[in-house]
Chains A and B, each alone.
Chain A
Amino acid sequence: MSDDLLLSGGGSTAVATEELLEHAQDLERVRDGLEACRARLASWPLTEDADARVTNHLTWARGAVEDALLESTSLVRALRRSAERYGALERSLALVQRTAGEAAAYWAGVVLPGLVLIHGPAVALALAVGAVTVTSPQGRAAARGVGVWLRDNPAVVNNALVASLARTAVSSVDDFGLGVLRVPPPTRRLLEEQGLDLGLPTAGLVVTGAAGAAGMLRETRVVVHRVPEPAGSVPAVAAAPRGFADLAGRLPRAAPDGAQVRVERYGEGTADRRFIVYVGGTADASPRSTSDPWDVTSDVGAVTGGDAGAVRATEQAMRAAGVGPDDRVLLAGYSLGGIVARDIADRGSFAVDGVLSLGSPVGQIPVPDGVSAVSVEHNEDVLAALGGHGLADEDGGHALVVRRSVADELTDGGGTLFAAHGLDRYAETAALLDESEEERIAGFRSTLSTFLGDREQGSVTEWRAERVVEAPGPPPSGGSGGGFGVGVGGAAVVSPADAGRSGPEGEGPGR
């Protein structure tokens, strides 16, 4: 059960375990083989009655082949139908969940301002307590208390039901806003029917705007530098990755002064180069921007389609590593890295062939046509669920989504905070994907293989970015890209020799 992979999307309306789909593929091969056998048995020389004993055996053989063909055809249909029904059921349940969540969020939005008016003093008191929580040492202690509680009750954030609710809540944020704005229900429905719902970007602007007022989630410029290789070492090279496990195994892991982005360059010295870019996950869980752009500020910015230092930094690292706009690229990312990867593919600044995201909340980030995308999510991973429900196929939601339950795999019974989100767990799931012959999973492996062709070895560079956090004060009199404002940022590259002593030279606004 724990090795079961549940597949959806990727251009199909079916949802099923990878094993069931593999069975269907195997049986289709049997059926096709039997059809070929039947055709041979029905053609010369086997139709000629040259010997009675041979003819007798052939008659029985034809009957058995015909029966086997009927049985295999029927089994294939049953498996495919089962997958389609499962898909339809899952879509119906998701629709019910989403509709109920949106309605609840809308009416909460309608009611909440009224409560504020009626219970003004109480609400003001609650807001004051909240402000104290955020800003004062005592408040921070209280916030730490929440963290302690979560650590004591980690099952809450390693829970499939909580993940599912989180997915619905995120998808309903815009409806809450419409409720607050008192948009009449018919208008709200009309907006949704016309595809004009506010969506995560607007919600992101509201959240970052509100958090910015409290000194949180503020975007900054970033400075990118190459992580120097150890003195005296030979330039790093890598063998071509052969599958999902290789890609997962090379993702940068969060470490002080460690790389956040790894770029592998294949086809050195030829005009037809290929690049594989690996992007690591969130390293700084603080909502306040400090030095590491792989932080919550980037998480919120990237997942809502806003400005994100990690996206700018990754693009800058790619350019610095020699990736040109026409060079073909394959991106792999974990957690925030997966959001960054999908965001970069969506922007279209680079010629992206494929994107693999592990544990990333990317449900609402469209995949451009021609880009092969696989998103791996654990059922109990609450953080991956924060991307909301997936987009419809016509809106660019054609990534193959692979889900797996790791509830039985958490060695301490899920006693570690966000254990289901761990990179090691996702690396295990990636290895399971390598064992699968399901056509869509095999298709992505084939994309990787075709992408690299006979390029068997690549050069490796690693990159790290730092935020340029300036003291609050009046805005600078000139230049661009400076300051704290939401949606403003830039990136600069510092060579390895300059790393650590160069000043923050911005390149102008991010997006």
Chain B
Amino acid sequence: MIDGGADARAERELAVVRRQREELGRLVARMGALRHEVPRDGTVYWKSAAQRRYLVRLERLDDLLESAAAELQGALAATGTALAHREQTA
């Protein structure tokens, strides 16, 4: 019974990780598309100080998106490793 329960749990986790990998694949693609939406090389008609602050904040936003994309990519890779490990164990 105990072994059967552990198998069931392992199977469920395997299914969850598979679903997580699918979902993360979509999120990674979405995050890549979002990074392309961030305005770049603008000459927004502001006076220099405000313009500089604006451009700095755009860079910060891009950095945050890059971080988010990297973490999602890391999570995706981790699901791959986890799946390989679990399938091997099974």
Pick from A20, A46, A56: contact of B44, CB below 8 A. Answer: A20
Is A26 a contact partner of B44 (Cβ separation < 8 A)? no
| CB-contacts of B1-59 with A (<8 A) | 13, 16-17, 19-20, 23-24, 26-27, 30-31, 33-34, 37-39, 42-46, 50, 54, 57-58
Q: Which interface class (under 10, 10 to 19, 20 to 34, 35 or more) fits B?
A: 35 or more
Chain A: interface secondary structure? Answer: helix
**CB-CB < 8 A to B23: which residues of A?**
40, 45-46
Interface locus among A65-73, A147-155, A172-180, A407-415: A65-73
Residues of chain A within 8 A of B81, CB atoms compared: 53
Residue of B nearest to A20 (CB): B44
Interface string of A20-40 (1 = CB under 8 A from B): 101100110110011011001
**In the complex the two chains form, is B45's CB within 8 Å of A20's CB?**
yes
- A6 and B86 CA atoms in complex are apart in Å by 60
Contact with B along A35-72 (1 / 0, CB 8 A): 01100110001101011011011101100110110011
CA distance A71 to B27 in the complex (A): 19
A207 in the interface (beta carbon within 8 A): no
B79, A54: Cβ atoms closer than 8 Å: yes
Cα(A252)–Cα(B11), bound, Å: 75
* A57-B74 CB under 8 A given contacts A20-B44, A48-B16, A72-B61: yes
Tell whether, in the assembled complex, residue A54 and residue B82 are in contact, meaning their CB atoms are under 8 Å apart. yes
Q: How far is the CB of A332 from chain B (nearest CB, A)?
A: 28
Contact in complex: A45, B30 (CB < 8 Å): no
Q: Chain A nearest CB: distance from B21 CB in Å?
A: 9
| A320-362 near B? 1/0 per residue, CB < 8 Å | 0000000000000000000000000000000000000000000
Nearest CB in chain B: distance from A61 CB, A: 4
| Distance, CA A36 to CA B27, complexed state (A) | 10
Interface residues of A in 426-475 (CB under 8 A from B): none
Please determine whether A46 and B65 come into contact, CB atoms closer than 8 angstroms.
Answer: no
Across-interface contacts of B16 in A (CB, < 8 A): 45, 48, 50
Residue in B20, B54, B61 whose CB lies within 8 Å of A30: B61
B71 touches A (CB below 8 Å):
yes
Given contacts A19-B42, A26-B37, A30-B37, contact A75 B13 (CB under 8 A): no
Residue of A nearest to B72 (CB): A61
The answer to whether A53 touches B24, judged by C-beta atoms less than 8 angstroms apart, is no
Most buried by A among B42, B45, B54: B45
Tell whether, in the assembled complex, residue B37 and residue A29 are in contact, meaning their CB atoms are under 8 Å apart: yes
Query: Chain B contacts of A507 at CB under 8 A?
Result: none
A451 to B79, CA, bound (A): 51
Q: Shortest CB–CB separation between residue A198 and chain B, in angstroms?
A: 38
B72, A68: Cβ atoms under 8 Å?
A: no
- Which chain B residue lies CB-closest to A24? B39
Given A33-B30, A37-B27, A54-B79; A22-B64 close (CB under 8 Å): no
Question: In the complex, which residues of chain B have a beta carbon less than 8 angstroms from the beta carbon of A61?
Answer: 68, 71-72, 74-75
Q: Please, how many angstroms separate the alpha-carbon atoms of A458 and B45 in the complex?
A: 41
Q: Establish whether residues A68 and B19, one from each chain, have CB atoms under 8 Å apart when the complex forms.
A: no
* Alpha-carbon gap, A64 to B62, bound state (A): 11
Give the residues in chain A near B37, CB-CB below 8 Å.
26-27, 29-30, 33
A393 at the interface (CB under 8 A from B): no
The answer to whether A45 and B20 touch across the interface, beta carbons within 8 angstroms, is yes
Q: Smallest CB-CB separation from A17: which chain B residue?
A: B45
- A82 at the binding interface (Cβ < 8 Å): yes
> Shortest distance in angstroms between B54's beta carbon and chain A's nearest beta carbon?
8
* A4-B45, A17-B45, A45-B19 given; A58·B39 CB < 8 A: no
Which of chain A's residues have a CB closer than 8 A to the CB of B43?
Answer: 1, 19
Interfacial residues of chain A within 188-224, with CB under 8 A of chain B in the complex: none
Choose among A20, A45, A57 the residue that contacts B78 (Cβ–Cβ < 8 A): A57
Q: Determine the distance from Cα of A56 to Cα of B81 in the docked complex, in whole angstroms.
A: 14
Contact of B58 with A75 in the complex, beta carbons under 8 Å: yes
Given contacts A34-B34, A64-B64, A64-B65, 16 further A-B contacts (CB under 8 A): A17-B44, A26-B38, A33-B30, A41-B27, A45-B20, A46-B20, A50-B17, A50-B20, A51-B78, A51-B82, A57-B71, A58-B71, A61-B74, A64-B67, A72-B61, A75-B61
9 tightest A-B CB contacts, nearest first = A57-B75, A61-B71, A64-B68, A68-B64, A53-B78, A64-B67, A45-B19, A51-B82, A57-B74
